[in-house]
Chains A and B, each alone.
Chain A
Amino acid sequence: MSDKYRILIVDDSTDDIHFVLENLKQDYAVLVATSGEKALEMAIKEPRPDVILMDVEMPGMNGYDTCRQVKNTPETSDIDVIFVSAHDSTDEKLAGYDAGGSDYLIKPVQTSELLQKVKLAIKDKQARAAVEADKAMAMETAMTAISSAGEQGVVVNFMKNSFSVTSIEELARLVVDATSSYGLESSVQLRATSGPVNASSNEPIPPLEQELLSKLKDVGRLKESGARFIGNFGGVTQLIKNMPEDEDKRGRLRDHLALLLEGAEARLHALEIQQQLAQVVVDSNQTLQDIEAMQQQQKQTSMQIMDDVMKHLEASFMSYGLTEEQEVLLLKVVQDGVDKSLTNFEQGMMIDEKMRDIIRSLERFSQT
């Protein structure tokens, strides 16, 4: 295939065609049609002409009608049409303009003028193509930005939703679901103190995949091979099986996934602390209840001992030969001691209450 620009000459006069052809054939691939109908047939066929040199007066479809059809056909509308006619009036030129022609040459055409007009038409076409390419590029950039904004939205949503998850299982599922929003199949492992938690877009997750996830945690932060992507952020490992081939999209997804995994790792860490704190609260409550029970037991035992001491003391009064006044005084001393001891126990119970307040605060904190 010739890489020359293509010029289609349309003229019913073969004699006239020779004159134009002779001046163009060195620099251009010249096609010839001897009627408007044939010209339309040729114009739509690949390789399409870049410029048409169109006679006006032709039997059948005239040059203006042919031009109109060229311009109204999407595949050929971009072809420049230059009228070449022996008509030289302004009315005729206006008719050519109305039909969609871009220029008008009067027969007999001067060679230099012909070459200049054709060259100009080609230059205009190139300029239009460049503008079109720029427009296409701008559109592509806009589409990429829109698409990227959508992709970033997935990360933002993930972050937002991750704050409301209450378990590591939920978090793992959230990572898989967010990744699925990119059309990616993935499996993820979150390693908690209590053990690894796995989730996959293909449930149930096969044992081999679980094993792989455990092993892949040591391959480095981001690793790619073909359609496979492995991401490691602390206790989070993700394996993706179908990364796209498109390098631009792949690059964008890589960035988004890194953010997503980083967020997941931070949330995992927070969940771990939360869960540990909750356990501390449970343990503390239990300990406090034990202490309380022990204190109650101790109180009862002490009261029983005091009671026994009082009874024993009263029984002993007979043999001590004390006056009634001495007996009352002695009993009062012992009773005061018992009362102080009871007050002391009551204060111990108030300390329990204070500790319970602290645990309640911890409980609230662990649930946030």
Chain B
Amino acid sequence: MKTKEINLDGIPTLPGIDMLDAMQRLNGDWTLYKMVFRSFHQRHASTATTIEAHIGQGELKSAARLAHNLKGTSGNLAATGLFCQAGKLESTCLGGDSVQALALPQDLRLQLEEVMSGIALMDDDEPVTSAEKRAETKLLDRGVLSELLDRLQGCIETDQGEAQACLKKLRHELQGAAHAEKLENIEACMNRFDTDETIVNISQLKADLL
């Protein structure tokens, strides 16, 4: 199977991350990587502490489950060291050795902190392209918007890739418009794969626009 050539120009090197591997996993989509990384940052900020607490209370299975989740996502993010450490902790907890397990969260915390520190290296905003700047001044084409919103609603449960493509076009159409915030809500729901909430937000935006 052929792997896509990945260009790392303009992409910062993040601590604890194999950037080439990470970018290859997401077809070089740096924006998407940032989004996933932020979500990871949010979800796992206190994971090391929680795992430590579970081990302390003898809840090794719960600790193992958390370590397992952390291992999965850190592997996808190409946080190699964290992935290994989480795996080690998971298998120790599953083995039932609470004494040895108690010694591991500290290393996990260090690995996690290293990876998490990368958040500071990420730009918050994407540079606005000249085409997008031009879009700010244009009038909204309600026909096009209506069609795009209908398409988005139609494929949100059946084709996420198509839904993302529709969202991208909508973002372009609504660039700088007053309704851009509502579109962000839709995007957030889509990123959580919450289809029910996405549909509610699409309906609201349609009502506002049309």
Verify if B26 is at the interface (C-beta below 8 Å from A): yes
**B35 contact set on A, CB distance < 8 A:** 18
Question: In the docked arrangement, what's the CA distance between A317 and B59, Å?
Answer: 164
Interface pair A29/B29, CB less than 8 Å apart: no
* From A22, A24, A87, contact of B26 by CB (8 A): A22
Chain A, residue nearest B44 (CB)? A15
Interface pair A34/B161, CB less than 8 Å apart: no
Stretch at the interface among B45-53, B73-81, B98-106, B138-146: B73-81
Task: Give the bracket for the number of chain A residues in contact with chain B.
Answer: 35 or more
Nearest chain B CB to A58 CB, angstrom units: 10
Verify if B57 is at the interface (C-beta below 8 Å from A): no
**B193 contact set on A, CB distance < 8 A:** 14, 17, 32-34
Verify if B126 is at the interface (C-beta below 8 Å from A): no
Verify if B191 is at the interface (C-beta below 8 Å from A): yes
Nearest chain B CB to A219 CB, angstrom units: 57
Verify if B159 is at the interface (C-beta below 8 Å from A): yes
Given contact pairs A29-B159, A30-B160, A107 touches B3 in the complex (Cβ within 8 A): no
Binary contact readout B151-164 vs A (1 if CB under 8 angstroms, 0 otherwise) = 00001011111101
Interface pair B1/A2, CB less than 8 Å apart: no
Given contact pairs A14-B193, A19-B25, A23-B25, A32 touches B162 in the complex (Cβ within 8 A): no
Question: In the docked arrangement, what's the CA distance between A235 and B192, Å?
Answer: 82
Question: In the docked arrangement, what's the CA distance between A122 and B161, Å?
Answer: 19
**A47 contact set on B, CB distance < 8 A:** 158
Stretch at the interface among A109-117, A242-250, A347-355: A109-117
Question: In the docked arrangement, what's the CA distance between A107 and B75, Å?
Answer: 7
Question: In the docked arrangement, what's the CA distance between A187 and B164, Å?
Answer: 68
Verify if A338 is at the interface (C-beta below 8 Å from B): no
Interface pair A23/B76, CB less than 8 Å apart: no
**B83 contact set on A, CB distance < 8 A:** 108
Interface of A is mostly: mixed
Question: In the docked arrangement, what's the CA distance between A31 and B68, Å?
Answer: 24
Interface pair A13/B75, CB less than 8 Å apart: no
Nearest chain B CB to A23 CB, angstrom units: 7
Q: Which of A1-45 contact B (CB under 8 A)?
A: 2, 4, 6, 13-19, 21-26, 28-34, 42
Q: Which of A80-119 contact B (CB under 8 A)?
A: 85-87, 107-109, 111-113, 115-116
Interface pair A2/B162, CB less than 8 Å apart: yes
Q: Which of B176-203 contact A (CB under 8 A)?
A: 191-195
Interface residues of A (CB under 8 A from B): 2, 4, 6, 13-19, 21-26, 28-34, 42, 47, 55, 57, 85-87, 107-109, 111-113, 115-116
Interface residues of B (CB under 8 A from A): 1-3, 24-27, 29, 32, 35-36, 39-40, 43, 65, 68-69, 71-73, 75-78, 83, 87, 90, 155, 157-162, 164, 191-195
Known: A15-B77, A29-B161. 20 other contacts (CB 8 A): A2-B159, A13-B72, A14-B39, A15-B73, A15-B76, A17-B193, A18-B36, A19-B25, A19-B36, A19-B76, A22-B25, A22-B32, A23-B27, A29-B162, A32-B195, A34-B193, A42-B157, A86-B87, A108-B83, A111-B3
